[in-house]
Amino acid sequence: MLNLNEKAFEITKSKKASWFLYFISFIESIFFPIPTDIFIIPVALVNKNKVLIISFMTTIFSVLGGIVGYLIGLYFFNEIGSELINYYYLQEEFNFFTNIISEYGYIFIFIAGFTPLPYKIASIASGFIGMPLIIFIISSFFSRGIRFFIVAFIGSRLGIHAEKIIKKNFLYISIFLFILIILLVILELI
């Protein structure tokens, strides 16, 4: 039986591998439990000269999925949103996210879009609390874009070993970039 990485590599041999990746990034932002990162690595490895396009399109589809999650939180929380949260046993995280988003807004969306925090819960919570949609979209676009570019770039250079490196160090990479972003925001405000 093939493991998930081997299946992902098999899909990259298809002419429709990129569209599969974009579809995964869309549904991962709403309900799919497996991170887009493990799919972007083999696609980027096979298409080394298209890392920017792959990263950009993956970001677009992820943000579109995030908008669907946002709309679920805004209009269909009781019918769909709470079911998704309960299905993944993420009620505690959802409560935490709604409190943090209410307090820190776009900064937390940026963090959730970039780090291993469940972006799908952040998108539903953003809609639930009524965060301005344009702020949500801009924060999501930049955070998801940076994340997917880094993963695609590393994946195109290191191949399957990139997944191990990213999994092992993603928290540290996320913290480093988060601190860097905070410093840039502080410097801009001064």
In a domain, 8, yes or no: no
- HEC assignment per residue over 94-144: HHHHHHHHHHHCHHHHHHHHHCCCCHHHHHHHHHHHCCCHHHHHHHHHHHH
In a domain, 82, yes or no: yes
Percentage of the chain beyond pLDDT 70 is 75
Q: Which domain holds residue 73?
A: 16-189
Average pLDDT along the chain: 80
In a domain, 160, yes or no: yes
pLDDT digits (tens, 9 = 90+) for 112-166: 776 667 788 889 989 998 999 999 999 899 989 988 998 888 878 776 666 566 6
pTM: 0.76
In a domain, 134, yes or no: yes
In a domain, 182, yes or no: yes
pLDDT digits (tens, 9 = 90+) for 27-49: 999 988 888 887 888 888 888 88
Q: Is the pLDDT of residue 8 over 60?
A: no
Q: For the chain, how many structural domains are there in total?
A: 1
So what's the pLDDT on residue 1? 42
In a domain, 171, yes or no: yes
So what's the pLDDT on residue 11? 65
Q: What is the C-alpha separation between 140 and 114, in angstroms, rounded?
A: 8
In a domain, 5, yes or no: no
Strands annotated E in the chain: none
So what's the pLDDT on residue 70? 95
Give the chain's length: 190
In a domain, 117, yes or no: yes
CB contact at 8 A, 97 and 105: no
